[in-house]
Chain A
Amino acid sequence: MPKRIETGGATVTFTFDGRPVTAIAGDSVASALAAAGITRLRDSVVSGAPRGIHCMMGACFDCLVEIDGIPNRQACMTLAAEGMTVRAQQGAVSVSEGGRA
């Protein structure tokens, strides 16, 4: 189970698939989700297998999520911000008007 080694500090709140997630200021979307115990961030585009964070440094692209309507954002490279709407990606993201599947 994930655990913070410190308490306190300013927080921001965003939602992941509608569920509120509290992040510490400076958290990436990925670290905030990890702290909340959320490990499944998307389903893969070919087989639909579940995926989560893997490298945490922007290399592997496994933590792709939809943020404020824009798909394929790297959760580990995006700072968590107040009021963000984050959604898990289900399989292939179709490229249609507005960028939404």
Chain B
Amino acid sequence: MRSVDVVVIGAGPAGMSCAVEASAAGLSVLVLDENPAPGGQIWRGIETATERRGRILGPDYGAGRTVAQAFRASKADYLPSALVWNISTEKVVEYSHRGASHQVQAGAVVSATGAFERPNPLPGWTLPGVTTVGALQILLKSAGLVEEDAVLVGSGPLLWLMAAQLVDAGVPPKAVVETTPKGRVLAALRHLPRALRARDYLWKGLALMRRVKAAGVPVHSHATGIRIEGKDQAEAVSFAANGRRVRIESGHIALHHGVVPNQQVTRLMRAEHVWDASQMCFRPVLSDMGETSVAGLFVAGDGTGIGGAKAAALQGRLLGLRLAARAGRSVAPERIERLSAGLAREGSVRPFLEALYAPPAWINAPEDATIVCRCEEITAGQVRAAVDLGAPGPNQVKSYLRSGMGPCQGRVCGLLVSQIIAAKRGLPPQKDDYYRIRPPMKPLPLTELAAYRPEGAK
């Protein structure tokens, strides 16, 4: 079996940066990424984006080009379009590539699989024409495609960034419907002094809002009671704002309530997680070095808790250096110090953003009739009824209802089901209140498994 010092899963900011540093220090590194090109989601299409796309997407996107170039120039072995579907406790990594499965023995595994968008369980959210805001941005980054007259609904930095990018692309959104509850600015103020250490983020955010408003985009604030209407396709979104009901017709409604760590790898490996009440999500418990409770499994980037692209790249580089030091390579301590200081600066803006843009309570407490598990079409009411029948946690609910057993394997509904069950108990989710993730991490054709001959298999 092939053996490498480090297998990195994911080629976004964290994965690429980790691979660059670890390979420069002399470690053998294999990067397995599901996408056809480096960049992850934040820098998606970074090697092929045209100049016009780059102008619209801005300098933070353009910064990915340098990282991708360094990654391409590094000694790290990079396998795109490679889907990791299992990792054993002995750190044998199994992956699918071009229709065949393979295995590699890793000394250390780095999960750099980033984040997903938080689920947005609203009436009508399964209709064609309803996407996440992130999906809109991926269409722009990877295909130069924009939706005219889209309505953006939700809260958080990405909502405003996307709205501003649509303005710059010449197709301003038909409206921005902001769901941030009243009083949040006040609640966030106590974190402002610390956030001023990274004030460029605050100025950038304010500039985005100004750009959207200056373009004449109607902005509705503190919206609640959001419903997407349509029979076979989204036709309109309606909501309550300023004490009245508003209805806006559009065939494209884009939803966003922040991003949360992708836990698939760390849950598969049975690493310990904690509920992060500030970010309203689970994150893996990590040592100072970035190691999980499972020896040899490390995490870098947004998978550790949401910090953004710059923090992810810094975490990746730090982890690369620390893995090198751990393997006995010489690493200048001042490099570690410098990266750590940069990371602390990046982190200083997060408490402010988390207080300001914490998802409104109602987004994690959908109406009984609303679908929460999109794959198996299980409603919030069914989940609550299962709890009433005695299901103590997500895995029993899954057995009762098949929620989380469809092709997405709980990627979309997992966090939501955990929160609905916890709310029934009147407690925050406990650390093990999550679906048990099992291999294969994504569905594989049975023919591929049948043809797969792992070494040592009996």
Contacts and interface: CB of A to CB of B under 8 A. Distances in A.
A56 interface: yes
Interface string A1-40: 1111110000000000000000010111001101100011
B68 to A, nearest CB: 15
A59 B144 contact: no
A59 B116 contact: yes
Given A4-B145, A31-B142, A55-B116, A60 B408 contact: yes
Interface in B32-85: 34-36, 41, 45, 48, 50, 52-53, 56
A5 B169 contact: yes
B429 interface: no
Contacts of A28: 142-143
Contacts of B127: 50, 52
Contact of B149 (A1, A50, A53, A59): A1
B143 A3 contact: no
Interface stretch (B177-185, B205-213, B373-381): B373-381
B407 interface: yes
A70 B448 CA distance: 13
A61 B407 contact: yes
Main secondary structure of the interface of A (DSSP, over half): loop
A58 B134 contact: no
A98 B160 CA distance: 47
Contacts of A44: 126, 377
B411 to A, nearest CB: 5
B117 interface: yes
A51 B45 CA distance: 26
A56 B145 contact: no
B135 interface: yes
B232 A34 contact: no
A2 B131 contact: no
Interface string B107-149: 0000000001100000000111111101100111011111111
Most buried by A among B128, B130, B146: B128
B131 A56 contact: yes
Contacts of B28: none
Contacts of A101: none
A86 interface: no
Contact of A53 (B36, B117, B131): B131
A60 B374 contact: yes
Interface of A: 1-6, 24, 26-28, 31-32, 34-35, 39-41, 44-47, 49-62, 64, 70, 72, 76-77, 79
8 contacts: A4-B143, A4-B144, A5-B52, A26-B48, A44-B377, A46-B377, A50-B128, A57-B116
Given A1-B251, A5-B56, A53-B131, 18 more contacts: A1-B147, A3-B145, A3-B147, A26-B48, A31-B142, A34-B139, A41-B128, A45-B406, A47-B377, A49-B126, A50-B127, A55-B116, A55-B135, A56-B131, A57-B134, A57-B138, A60-B411, A61-B408
Question: 6 tightest CB-CB pairs across the interface, nearest first?
Answer: A52-B128, A56-B135, A31-B143, A39-B128, A61-B407, A56-B138
